[in-house]
Amino acid sequence: MAIPKNSESNITKLLDRGFASRHNSEESPRQSEPRQHVVIVTCMDTRINPYRIFNLVEGDVHLLRNAGGVITDDVVRSILISQRLLNTTEVLVVQHTKCGLATFAGDQFKDEVERETQQRPEFEMEDFEDVYESVKSSVSKLHANPYLTRTTHVRGFVYDVDQDQLEEVVVDQ
């Protein structure tokens, strides 16, 4: 698959827009340790804006996003670093209604990629049918992980994209 070499690419536009806005705004003090000592794991879906949902400002939390907001090995790696090096103590898992990961079968998707590239992805797609069960699974994975600190407090929520509301998913431990 060829990547277009367009000088007016969307990336170029984003870079230009970012530099322009930085010159017109006041800089806040920067630190790598989040003020709230919280890691938020959520979906990359553009309808999910954690800064608006939780009334956050830059530097409040560590924000990890992936397809589905699911707990993968790489998410655990990032949480571990956030905890042990940057003093976070809580993890907030936020998945959402109408998630694209609930609309396809991971194995079929891998088949399509393999047909196009002649290589099959080795990683799990982490697709799911029920977002509430997916949140429970994600929270349980974190509770069971031996590398995370035992003092880690984990809570899971489903964000309703139509109602703009959060619903906590209680996970028995």
Over 60: is that where the pLDDT of 14 sits? yes
Give 88-101 pLDDT, tens digit per residue: 999 999 999 998 88
Answer yes or no: CATH 3.40.980.10 is held by domain 32-169. no
Query: Do residues 36 and 58 lie in contact, with contact meaning Cβ atoms separated by under 8 Å?
Result: no
Cα 101 from Cα 109, distance rounded (Å): 11
| Bridge-based pairing state of the strands 153-160 and 90-96 | parallel
Give the pLDDT of residue 24. Answer: 54
Which is more confident, 129 or 50? Answer: 50
DSSP 100: G
Global confidence as pTM: 0.83
Give 26-47 pLDDT, tens digit per residue: 555 677 889 999 999 999 999 9
Q: Any bridge partners for residue 92, and if so which? A: 40, 155
Query: Do residues 89 and 151 lie in contact, with contact meaning Cβ atoms separated by under 8 Å?
Result: yes
Predicted confidence band at 68 (pLDDT cuts at 50, 70, 90)?
Answer: very high
